[in-house]
Chains A and B, each alone.
Chain A
Amino acid sequence: MFRLFSTTGRRIPATCYLQRFQSTLVLTEHNNEKLTPITLNAITAAKQLGGEVCCLIAGTNCGKVTEEVSKVQGVKKVLVAENDIFKGFLPEELTPLVLAAHKEFKFTHICAGASAFGKNIIPRIAAKLDVAAISDITEIKNPDTFVRTIYAGNALCTVKSDDDVKVFSVRGTSFEAASVNGGNASSEKVSPPSAAGVSEWIGQSLTKSDRPELTSARVVISGGRGLRSGENFKLLYDLADKLHAAVGASRAAVDAGFVPNDLQVGQTGKIVAPELYIAVGISGAIQHLAGMKDSKTIVAINKDPEAPIFQVADYGLVADLFKAVPEMTALLEK
């Protein structure tokens, strides 16, 4: 700082200014059609750092998403890399692109939402930069100090990074979504490095649903082993329809084959923090609580009064779910 002042005005180059200033690169998650909502939460986290926010959009088709991101409030610049090598958003192909962008713009922070996409790529980028990555942050204390949970959410850990670049993923439910209008970012094309060619995306099978997306839903209804079968989940779907809720599940329900695994809420599944979380036939194991205990209001319906879920529930109903759930659905119909 002091040395900077002692140099003549002519000698203060732009790069020097940039290094001093915070600038954050947010990796944009999308499906070539639409922006994934968690990116908006990551942008809010990036804005909290106080510097310039830049978004990188890479994919096979970036037009629509570029338009969308350019309007997000707080985004200064959008870097766009459209190329067939980004099919499937493989980390082996995206990482060299991020490194090239970083080399040019010298970011102080690089982040993404802590989704399957972000968790896959963020550590790869960090290792290439020889810095520690910080996973799933829930709070930013200052530009080098972050809070995250450990031991399935049973402890909060504050960490300080002395690395030149802070590379981290953001827990979506801990930061508000940035507003999708009012922004006016400039966009710039970046050319991708040559293909790594060590991996290939073959295909996907996504669970189709008309209900809101689990991680961003205002109301979530989850079922556990107590549902006894996949057919019985219909009770929850009926109730969910009344409440415009997403449906989730405990690991027990997934392992028993009642529902597909992408509905799992918990340490090893999704982390949700809706306004209302209704746990039906879920005992409340530590691993499940890790995924939902930041919900604003928790309701438990369980016939076992000793179930640990009642220790975190704001409202508990000790009852047979096969009676209580249809009753609740009927009541809401009125």
Chain B
Amino acid sequence: MPEGGGTTPPSGNGECAGRMCVRRPQGTAGCGAQKSDEEMAAMTILVGVKRVIDYAVKIRVKPDHTGVVTDGVKHSMNPFCEIAMEEAVRLKEKKHAQEVIAVSCGPQQCQETIRTALAMGADRGIHVEVTGKDYDALGPLQVSKILAALAKQEKVDLILLGKQAIDGDWNQTGQMTAALLDWPQGTFASEVKVEDKKLMVTREVDGGLETVSLKLPAVVTSDLRLNEPRYATLPNIMKAKKKKIARTSAQELGVNISSKLQTLSVEDPLQRTAGVKVENVEQLVAKLQEIGRI
């Protein structure tokens, strides 16, 4: 095992069903200063973080059916992005990474999301400013082109993303970024281990779990069970204010973000009709038999 220390998560890809021991490092600060003493070249990790409507908010469709109401609605970091961010910070704490860069594409408010990532332990941020109509049409293909350009510019070894954003529910950006870079992909990861110059990724698939080995550089997308993200502490939030967020744009990166996909309408789904309450189990079974369900 090339990893030092004894803090690697359980390795078996079976019994533990992808659950990792929740390791919450006590002293997260200070690990950035010391250089890895092993000869293994530590990675630069790029983490994509998206600002989305908070997962607990009940969304409302706009009356003109052009989208959902976002003004004055609570936003936060996409939950899967938080998990990707946490994993990057853990890889750094295990000395597999030397630098973690958080990137977000979108309007000014995305800087708050990047700031949150910095407070979790990212070293610096990049804000790719996309506004107005361009932002409305910004889909996974456009974001993946931006990420691929940044990956080359920053010479990153690993891109960590969430498996999907909970607004668009596309589940595409990681796969597309990997394709554009011709890198291997480890999607829906529930465990990530660094071995030599390879990544061992345990993936959540339909029947259970599977493990793949990827040559670096690679793209990994996180599933819910990859880890439990830490909360940013107040001192770390204060420290994050001093960290740098570079601003750039798709144009500066030489990326064309035009889209051939247009949203024709957004509607409310069919509402289910209110049901009835039954008194007891006999009634329930009788009703279900009546309508032929059992």
Chain A residues at the B interface, C-beta cutoff of 8 Å: 88, 90-92, 95, 115-117, 119-128, 130-136, 145, 148-163, 196-207, 215, 219, 243, 251, 254-255, 257, 260-262, 267-268, 270, 275-276, 286-287, 293, 296-299, 310-319, 324, 327-328, 331-332
Contact = CB atoms under 8 A, between A and B. Distances in A.
Contact of B262 (A135, A159, A318): A159
A157 B178 CA distance: 27
Given A128-B179, A151-B53, A267-B166, A324 B281 contact: yes
15 contacts: A124-B175, A132-B141, A145-B264, A151-B169, A156-B267, A160-B262, A198-B215, A204-B211, A215-B206, A268-B164, A297-B288, A311-B274, A317-B281, A327-B281, A328-B285
A268 B204 CA distance: 11
A288 B190 CA distance: 20
A21 to B, nearest CB: 21
Interface in B275-294: 275-278, 280-282, 284-285, 287-288, 291, 293-294
A172 to B, nearest CB: 11
A92 B208 contact: no
A315 B172 contact: no
B140 interface: yes
A261 B204 contact: yes
Given A298-B275, A311-B274, A315-B288, A219 B294 contact: yes
A136 B171 CA distance: 9
Contacts of A267: 166, 169
B123 to A, nearest CB: 27
Contacts of B140: 123, 132-133
B135 interface: no
B144 interface: yes
Interface string B221-258: 00111000000000000000000000000000000000
B157 interface: no
Contacts of A159: 261-264
Contacts of B284: 299, 315, 317, 328
Contact of B263 (A157, A261, A299, A311): A157
A263 B59 CA distance: 27
Given A160-B264, A163-B260, A202-B213, A120 B185 contact: yes
A174 to B, nearest CB: 12
Interface in B50-76: 53, 55-56, 58-59, 61, 68
A275 B294 CA distance: 10
Nearest to B176: A127
B281 A124 contact: no
Given A156-B268, A202-B212, A204-B208, A313 B275 contact: yes
B267 A155 contact: yes
A135 B294 CA distance: 33
Given A151-B167, A155-B61, 17 more contacts: A116-B206, A119-B175, A130-B141, A132-B140, A135-B171, A145-B264, A155-B59, A158-B264, A158-B265, A162-B260, A199-B215, A202-B211, A204-B211, A262-B205, A286-B55, A286-B58, A331-B282
A275 B141 contact: no
Main secondary structure of the interface of B (DSSP, over half): mixed
Contact of B276 (A135, A163, A314): A314
B280 A317 contact: yes
B40 interface: no
A276 B293 contact: yes
Contact of B141 (A119, A120, A126): A126
A133 B172 contact: yes
A276 B294 contact: yes
B206 A270 contact: yes
A24 B104 CA distance: 35
Interface string B194-219: 00000010011111111111110010
B272 A127 contact: no
A59 B171 CA distance: 24
A126 B144 CA distance: 12
A205 B13 contact: yes
Contacts of B294: 219, 243, 276, 332
Contacts of A293: 269, 272
B266 interface: yes
Contacts of B32: none
A178 B244 CA distance: 55
Interface stretch (B14-22, B41-49, B94-102, B110-118): B14-22
Given A92-B184, A135-B171, A261-B18, A299 B288 contact: yes
B269 A153 contact: yes
A78 to B, nearest CB: 23
A201 B266 CA distance: 40
Contact of B178 (A124, A126, A160, A296): A124
Given A92-B185, A268-B224, A317-B280, A262 B176 contact: no
A198 B184 contact: yes
A92 B218 CA distance: 11
B175 A127 contact: yes
